[in-house]
Amino acid sequence: MKGLALHRFLLRFALAGASIFAWIVLFQYFYLVGGNLALAVSQTAFLYALSALITCLATPYAARALRAGTRRAITFALLLAIASFTVLGATLEGFWGSQGTGGAIGVFAVLFGLYRALYWIPYEVEASTAGTRRSFAAEILIALAPLCAALFITTVVPALMWLFYIAALIIGLSALAILSAPDTYENFSWGYRQTFHELISREHRAYVTQAIVEGISGAALLLFWPLAVFLLIGWSYAVLGVILSLTFLVAILLRTPARALLRYAGLTNSRLLSGVLAASPWLFRLTIASPLSVVLVDSYFYTTTPRRMGVDPLSFEQYADGGSLIDEYTALKEMALSIGKVAACFLAAFVAILLSVPAAFVAVFSVAALSSLYLALKR
């Protein structure tokens, strides 16, 4: 379990420092090439949708691969993640030339989507270490990862390509750490066609619908909100890193007293309050006008919104089961999450092209508010 805990820490640190910046860099590339803001947002959205679609299509194969052992599947997934960040770094370095850049960017999205499909954690490692001093220290270090990445970008030349090379290296170290973890085996009984049949069956409609709605909120949080903040703060990587780290640190310090206060007031089971706490941060995001307002809104969101674990959605969003169980329904939820992300991306892309970029963000955040409200009331 120590090896597994070290793996999770290294992987989370790498993703917290590189994942958001990867999509920001691609957005900036599309803008510099095309010179059109709406087109750049839509191209980034379509690329993110491609990655999510690959995850959805590959998940049944990935689930069946667990019959040979989860450790092998996780190791192969990490190799795909290493390859994706390496390809992105080489692209920024101009390794493929001007003619091959577009294809290399597509390869990055495909590899990252395959990694997401194959990466399953059937261990309760976070639950086993929650509340310990080691867990708290790890959360603090992971919260500082965006700040470290931003400082690296602003002080090292050329930094962007090396940021992704270093992320790939850290993920490689995490792969070595997991070799000492115990292996588990999962018996996924559905075939490929049957998995999709079950996905659209009436029996699982409510379960799948809830996961699709969650996927919409996930895309809004992990792609479009960072893009909106990046544009608001004047395209500054340094300020974006400071905002992300400061938000995570505030949430880590305040989430325990905030939840204790809710328990003391007997409001933890209030559906009305859960709905308000889930939807209001998205409505507040429609009114942001400064970096300070971003920090306040995000701190409020991560402090009050119920989350499975931690305050790090960049890595915990990787798996639908919270890291404790893998079965056929987990696969359905992973696929439905990806469908929700694709839907959010298409909504934003079409609104950006037909109306404007601000209208696209308003549309996505409004739908995310409704989605969060739906999930809170259903939960």
Q: E strands, 52-159, where? A: none
Residue 25 scores a pLDDT above 60: yes
Contact (Cβ atoms closer than 8 angstroms) between residue 17 and residue 148: yes
The CA-based diameter of the chain, rounded to the nearest angstrom, is 61
Q: Which of 1-10, 96-105, 179-188, 271-280 has the lowest mean pLDDT?
A: 179-188
379: pLDDT confidence band, cut at 50, 70 and 90?
low
Q: According to the model, what pLDDT value does residue 364 have?
A: 97
Q: Which of 43-52, 155-164, 191-200 has the lowest mean pLDDT?
A: 155-164
37: pLDDT confidence band, cut at 50, 70 and 90?
very high
Residues 340 and 332: their CA atoms lie apart, in Å, by 12
Contact (Cβ atoms closer than 8 angstroms) between residue 128 and residue 296: no
Residues 121 and 117: their CA atoms lie apart, in Å, by 11
Q: According to the model, what pLDDT value does residue 3 have?
A: 78
Residue 201 scores a pLDDT above 60: yes
Cα 129 to Cα 10, 316, 349: the distances in Å are 15, 15, 41
Q: Residues of 249-267 as b/e, b for ≥16 C-beta within 10 angstroms?
A: bbbbebbeeeeeebeeeee
Cα 162 to Cα 9, 33, 104, 152, 290: the distances in Å are 20, 22, 17, 9, 30
Q: According to the model, what pLDDT value does residue 8 have?
A: 85
Q: According to the model, what pLDDT value does residue 70 have?
A: 81
Residue 155 scores a pLDDT above 90: no
Residue 126 scores a pLDDT above 90: no
Q: What is the pLDDT of residues 206-263, one digit of tens each?
A: 989 999 999 999 999 999 999 999 999 999 999 999 999 999 898 888 887 877 787 7
Q: According to the model, what pLDDT value does residue 319 have?
A: 47
Q: What is the pLDDT of residues 128-137, one digit of tens each?
A: 544 455 677 8
Cβ contacts of residue 330 below 8 Å, gap of 6+?
63, 120, 319, 320, 321
pTM of structure: 0.92
Average pLDDT in the chain = 86
Q: What is the pLDDT of residues 87-114, one digit of tens each?
A: 999 998 888 877 889 999 999 999 999 9
Contact (Cβ atoms closer than 8 angstroms) between residue 283 and residue 335: no
Residue 51 scores a pLDDT above 80: yes
Q: What is the pLDDT of residues 11-24, one digit of tens each?
A: 989 999 999 999 99
Q: According to the model, what pLDDT value does residue 58 have?
A: 95
158: pLDDT confidence band, cut at 50, 70 and 90?
confident
Residue 7 scores a pLDDT above 90: no
Residues 245 and 62: their CA atoms lie apart, in Å, by 33
Cβ contacts of residue 11 below 8 Å, gap of 6+?
78, 170, 171, 174, 315
Q: What is the dihedral of CA 75, 211, 58, 142, to 10 degrees?
A: -30
Contact (Cβ atoms closer than 8 angstroms) between residue 254 and residue 244: no
Contact (Cβ atoms closer than 8 angstroms) between residue 153 and residue 238: yes
For the chain, list the domains and their CATH numbers: 2-181+194-378 (1.20.1250.20)
Q: According to the model, what pLDDT value does residue 308 have?
A: 45
326: pLDDT confidence band, cut at 50, 70 and 90?
low
Q: What is the pLDDT of residues 295-324, one digit of tens each?
A: 999 988 888 765 544 455 554 455 445 555
